[in-house]
Amino acid sequence: GRGDFMGVPHPRSVRVNPLRAGRTVEAVVQLLRSETLPKEWKGVSKATHDACRQVTQDPLLPDVLLLPPGTDMHNHPHVIEGSLVLQSRASCMPAHALQPKPGWTCVDCCAAPGNKTTHVAALMQGKGRIIAFDKDPSRLRRLQATAQLAGAVDVIDARCQDVLSLDPASPEFAQVQGVILDPSCSGSGTVFTRMDHLLPSIQRRQQQQLQQHNQEQQHQENAETSGEGDSSEEGLSDNDRDMTEDDGQGKDSDTHEQHHSMEGLEEGLGPADLERVRHLANFQTRALRHALCFPALERLVYSTCSVHKEENEEVVRAVLEQAQAAGFDLVDPFPSWPFRGLPLFPGSEKLVRTDAFRDGTDGFFVAVFARVKKDKKEGS
Ligand code: SAM
């Protein structure tokens, strides 16, 4: 039931950036567990320092580290210098799902603020090229700053352009083997994790309500309840507005600006939300179709931080036949991951979903298209 949400701890995740860290992930874990930060480093609280001693490696994503819920790493020196990146566990899945090889040429279609772009650069060990598009100039500047911090400027070619306006058949894209498409979405999957900092007050409130409930059980004659039951929802929408500055946890202001409704998530979308989601899905489908047209494409990752099937399975379903005709098919990027796409069509079992309640991260969706039919010249 709803109460479960309150009990789900969301571990904080950080990604090790090998382009800056200069040591293995295991060595970073050891360092975090043992290092004593200089006293003059004011930005790191005792709580954060203690939390770092409990760091563990994510079982699925080898470069992702997990820290206790609520750990504030924003001012940690490794974050400041770019060797650790604040990024949610789920938003680290797409780059791994791409499995880019050093030396590949990749396109990131909707790239800003660049968390996935720099992750792909890291997985390519800084070798190769990523052409990163974003149509929003100010967000593109953030992408450039992200690339700078990550030590990936030499690999990333950032361009302010609408991805639908590029021509995949142009000679400059002839080598493109990998594509990341992480388009604007409703962001409905990040609602719960973005409330993390509200958890203490929500929990307090929940406890109060529980106590109140118990008292009411005992004193049934006093069953009168106050009308304050909506205040946490108000807190949520305030939070939505406050969070428009990205905190770098892989959630971007593009989604934060949107309105999120709790009812929509639980009981299906209301007419206004459905309209917005359909509008987004229309762009997502067009962008996906477009991105599948790069002639040398080997692997494409489509991802959203939405929980709505309209932006996820239905977008995949809309292009699948055309993709298959062009020699691609859905492949499973994380066979050990138990949670799959909604069973709306054959192949949906290859799709990956995460859930904020169940998996302690954002609600996310990942689909991978891979070339299965080889060129005539290679024979098949
Ligand atoms: N992949 C990014 C990351 O991990 O940091 C987050 C991308 S965000 C969900 C979507 C981005 O797509 C926004 O920055 C938005 O400006 C951009 N965008 C939306 N429509 C676009 C278009 N037609 N062409 C290029 N970029 C677009």
Map residue 348 onto helix, strand or coil. Answer: helix
The question of whether 305 is a catalytic residue gets the answer: yes
Q: What pLDDT is stored for residue 230 in this prediction?
A: 31
Q: How far apart are CA 309 and CA 47, in angstroms?
A: 39
Q: 111 with 83: CB under 8 angstroms?
A: no
Q: Is the CB of 115 under 6 A from ligand 1?
A: yes
Binding residues for S-adenosyl-L-methionine: 110-116, 134, 162, 182
Q: Which neighbouring-strand residues pair with 353?
A: 365
Answer yes or no: pTM beyond 0.90: no
Q: What is the pLDDT along the chain (380 residues), one digit of tens a residue?
A: 333 344 556 789 999 999 999 999 999 999 999 988 877 677 788 889 999 999 999 999 999 999 998 899 999 999 999 999 999 999 999 999 999 999 999 999 999 999 999 999 999 999 999 999 999 999 999 999 999 999 999 999 999 999 999 999 999 999 999 999 999 999 888 866 555 555 455 455 556 656 665 666 666 655 444 433 333 322 222 222 222 223 334 334 344 333 333 333 434 678 888 899 999 999 999 999 999 999 999 999 999 999 999 999 999 999 999 999 999 999 999 999 999 999 999 999 999 999 877 777 788 999 999 999 775 444 44
Diameter over CA atoms, the chain: 83
**CATH code for 91-188+269-378?**
3.40.50.150
Q: What pLDDT is stored for residue 214 in this prediction?
A: 65
Ordered by start, the domain boundaries in the chain are: 3-86, 91-188+269-378, 192-267
Which CATH architecture fits 3-86? Answer: 2-Layer Sandwich (3.30)
Q: How far apart are CA 183 and CA 163, in angstroms?
A: 10
DSSP 256-306: HTS---HHHHHH---HHHHHHHHHHHHHHHHHHHHHTT-TT--EEEEEES-
pLDDT digits (tens, 9 = 90+) for 161-198: 999 999 999 999 999 999 999 999 998 888 665 555 55
Contacts of 356 (CB under 8 A, 6+ apart): 5, 8, 10, 189, 190, 191, 192, 193, 362, 363
Burial of 231 (0-12, 13-18, 19+ CB in 10 A): exposed
Q: Is the CB of 184 under 6 A from ligand 1?
A: yes
CA 143–ligand 1 middle distance (angstroms) = 10
DSSP H helical segments within 124-180, as ranges? 137-150
Q: 12 with 52: CB under 8 angstroms?
A: no
* Nearest atom of ligand 1 to the alpha carbon of 304: 9
Ligand 1, pocket-test mutation among 17, 184, 246, most atoms within 8 A of CB: 184
CA 184–ligand 1 middle distance (angstroms) = 5
Q: What pLDDT is stored for residue 270 in this prediction?
A: 81
Cα angle 127, 133, 136; round to 5? 140
Q: Are domains 3-86 and 91-188+269-378 of this chain identical in fold?
A: no
Burial of 171 (0-12, 13-18, 19+ CB in 10 A): exposed
Q: How far apart are CA 164 and CA 309, in angstroms?
A: 23
ipTM: 0.99
C-alpha to C-alpha distances, 9 to 14, 42, 69, 360, nearest whole angstrom: 16, 27, 6, 6
Q: Is the CB of 251 under 6 A from ligand 1?
A: no
Torsion, Cα 276 279 282 287, to 10 degrees, reads: -90
Q: What pLDDT is stored for residue 380 in this prediction?
A: 40
Q: Is the CB of 78 under 6 A from ligand 1?
A: no
CB atoms within 10 A of CB 247: 14
Q: What pLDDT is stored for residue 329 in this prediction?
A: 98
> Angle, nearest 10°, between helix axes 231-242 and 199-218?
180
Torsion, Cα 271 272 276 277, to 10 degrees, reads: -40
